[in-house]
Amino acid sequence: MSVLKFASTDQPGRNGLLALVKAKTGQDVLACYQCGKCSAGCPLSSAMDLAPHQVLRAVQLGQRDLVFQSSAIWLCVTCQTCYTRCPQEVDLPRVMDALRSQALQEKIRPAERTVKVFHDVFLGLVERFGRLYEVGLIGGYNLLARQPLASADLGLPMLTRGKLELIPRRVKDQEQIKAIFKRAAELELEEITGQSVAAAPPASVPS
């Protein structure tokens, strides 16, 4: 088990991770007093390598590797149960989100690869069609997750009952969707570079 080390030369405020989370989310993780109520109510904590309160503890101690290599940040489904119940009002789902996005920015391999695959396929489809295309999601996810025949037995019954449409539908105004994705990419770049990317909203997007 890795030893948590603190050198006597450590500077106050050295905890970059704490500052990063604060900058990304506005959340003061030091407010967490480790009561464990978040982990007690989390529907997924049993599957996580670090329980939700331990993720916060690792942030408090500035343990980057522990946090970014954990499965917990990827398994969190942002259900908000923890935040709703937290006595110290720490927005844990927001912290999880920030940690995921930071992990991606730092190109750290997600501990749960398929979660990332799902997000990628899902967002790819939304970007393309402006809405979800189930058959594309199932197919794309199964291929990229290297499990092509997963849940295949459900395919035919769903098709015959008209639950799946083979032909994708599109939203009417594709331009708006494009503008949203463009702005999201700009915001992300802003966060990484720290400089604001001048982007007047396109005329077609109602403000």
Interface with other proteins by CB under 8 A: which residues?
1-13, 28, 30-31, 33-34, 50, 53-54, 57-58, 60-61, 63, 66
Q: Which is nearer to other proteins, 31 or 156 (CB)?
A: 31
Cα separation of 97 and 182, whole Å? 20
Q: Which is nearer to other proteins, 7 or 166 (CB)?
A: 7
CB of 192 to other proteins, least distance (A): 27
Task: Kindly tell me the sign of the dihedral angle through the C-alpha atoms of 107, 109, 112, 113.
Answer: positive
Q: Which is nearer to other proteins, 33 or 181 (CB)?
A: 33
CB of 58 to other proteins, least distance (A): 6
Tell me how crowded residue 39 is: count the other CB atoms within 10 A of its CB.
21
Q: Helices (DSSP H) in 64-112: which residue ranges?
A: 64-68, 72-75, 81-85, 92-105
CB of 60 to other proteins, least distance (A): 8
Q: Which is nearer to other proteins, 46 or 160 (CB)?
A: 46
136-144 contact pairs (CB < 8 A, 24+): 136/168, 141/114, 141/117, 144/117, 144/120
CB of 80 to other proteins, least distance (A): 23
Q: What radius of gyration, in Å, describes the C-alpha atoms of the chain?
A: 20
